[in-house]
């Protein structure tokens, strides 16, 4: 059975009636608003975003996940829309190891230039013990209208540790390789580090640093984001978290550089037992909860 059909089987399994399977459900939803000032331009970019991440644990080792995100970027003249949907399925063994599958689709739509869709699928493996979680993945991606004979291979690994009081740290490393007969491989590498720390009375500090590098044209994109969130349930009856993040992205292409500074406001709603102190779509979140392609990770970590 090919990975493509295994992913389809995972999706069908996740659609079974909840009363028959459900043991534990958790998730979070974040509504975001951002303003980005781009260097050497007279206009700002406004971003409206909505993201949701959900998990279903059947209590027998099987766990399914759903990751959804969409964002609209507007500079006053042109609109850019980016969207993402991903499903995962995994089985956890009693010794802490796990094996699973994933399927993802990312879409980018630019006014006047049309749209592009990328589909990714592959295998995952992980191990969790005493607050430490190590995961890895290997898969392939397809982009609409890409000439035949060109292959995209995705692989990566991540580490997350939550074994100390009030804190969480994570590291993520990914590579997407474009290969074809007769040409040298082209690599897009992504490296990220992030963390969060829960203060007293509902306050949380979070931050992340990501770097993406495309070797064929000597291009580098670096994004740093720091923020703070507050749990409204500490002072009201609202089960929600508000957040403020400041992010800066710097792009360097063959010696030519530019930067963008973004201020993001977020409203997050936790579901089940999941925390929403680190808002979905923040720079820290893209490292602590990475996707399975260096292309999609780069697209959603900046602006």
Q: What does the pLDDT average to over 46-65?
A: 95
Q: How confident is the model at residue 111 (pLDDT cuts 50, 70, 90)?
A: confident
Whole-number pLDDT of residue 303: 60
How close are the terminal C-alpha atoms of the chain, in Å?
Answer: 39
- pLDDT tens profile 223-281: 999 999 999 999 999 999 999 999 999 999 887 888 899 999 999 999 987 788 999 99
User: Bridge-partner residues for 125, per DSSP?
Assistant: 99, 136
Instruction: State the pLDDT at residue 209.
Output: 96
Cβ atoms within 10 Å, residue 260: 19
Tell me what the pLDDT averaged over the chain comes to. 89
Q: What is the pLDDT of residue 83?
A: 94
Mean pLDDT of 41-54: 90
Report helix, strand or coil for 298: helix
Q: Compute CA distances 90 → 34, 60, 68, 71, 84, whole Å.
A: 34, 11, 18, 28, 20
User: Residue 276's pLDDT is what?
Assistant: 85
Q: Given CA atoms 143, 146, 149, 150 in this order, what sign does their dihedral have?
A: negative
Task: Give residue-wise pLDDT tens across range 159-175.
Answer: 999 988 899 999 999 99
Percent of the chain with pLDDT over 70: 92
Average pLDDT of the residues in 19-36: 84
Q: Report pLDDT digits (tens) over 173-232.
A: 999 999 988 888 899 999 999 999 999 889 999 999 999 999 888 899 999 999 999 999
Task: For the full predicted model, state whether its pTM sits above 0.85.
Answer: yes
Is the model's pLDDT at 110 over the cut of 80? Answer: yes
């Amino acid at each position: 059975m090919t990975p493509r059909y295994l992913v389809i089987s995972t999706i069908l399994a996740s659609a079974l009636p909840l009363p028959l399977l459900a043991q534990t459900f958790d998730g979070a939803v974040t509504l975001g608003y951002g303003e980005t000032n781009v260097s050497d331009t007279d206009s700002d970019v406004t971003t409206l975003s909505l993201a949701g991440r959900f998990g279903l644990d059947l209590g027998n080792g099987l766990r399914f996940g759903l990751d959804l995100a969409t964002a609209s970027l507007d500079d006053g003249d042109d609109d850019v829309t980016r969207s993402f949907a991903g499903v995962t399925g995994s089985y956890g063994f009693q010794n802490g190891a796990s094996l699973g599958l994933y399927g993802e689709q990312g879409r980018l739509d630019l006014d006047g230039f049309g749209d592009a869709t990328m589909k990714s699928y592959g295998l995952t493996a992980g191990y969790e013990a005493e607050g430490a979680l190590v995961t890895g993945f290997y898969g392939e991606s397809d982009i609409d209208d890409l000439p035949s004979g060109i292959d995209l291979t995705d692989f990566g690994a991540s580490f997350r540790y939550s074994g100390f009081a009030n804190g969480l740290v994570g590291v993520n490393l990914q590579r997407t390789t474009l290969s074809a007969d007769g040409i040298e491989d082209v690599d897009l590498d992504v490296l990220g580090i992030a963390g969060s720390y829960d203060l007293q009375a509902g306050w949380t500090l979070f931050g992340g640093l990501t770097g993406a590098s495309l070797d064929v044209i000597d291009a580098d994109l670096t994004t740093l984001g720091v923020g703070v969130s507050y749990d409204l349930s500490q002072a009201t009856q609202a089960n929600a978290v508000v957040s403020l993040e400041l992010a800066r992205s710097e792009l360097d292409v063959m010696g030519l550089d530019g930067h963008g500074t973004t201020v993001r406001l977020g409203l997050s709603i936790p579901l089940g037992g999941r925390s929403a102190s680190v808002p979905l779509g923040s720079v820290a979140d893209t490292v602590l909860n990475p996707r399975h392609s260096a292309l999609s990770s780069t697209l959603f970590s900046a602006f």
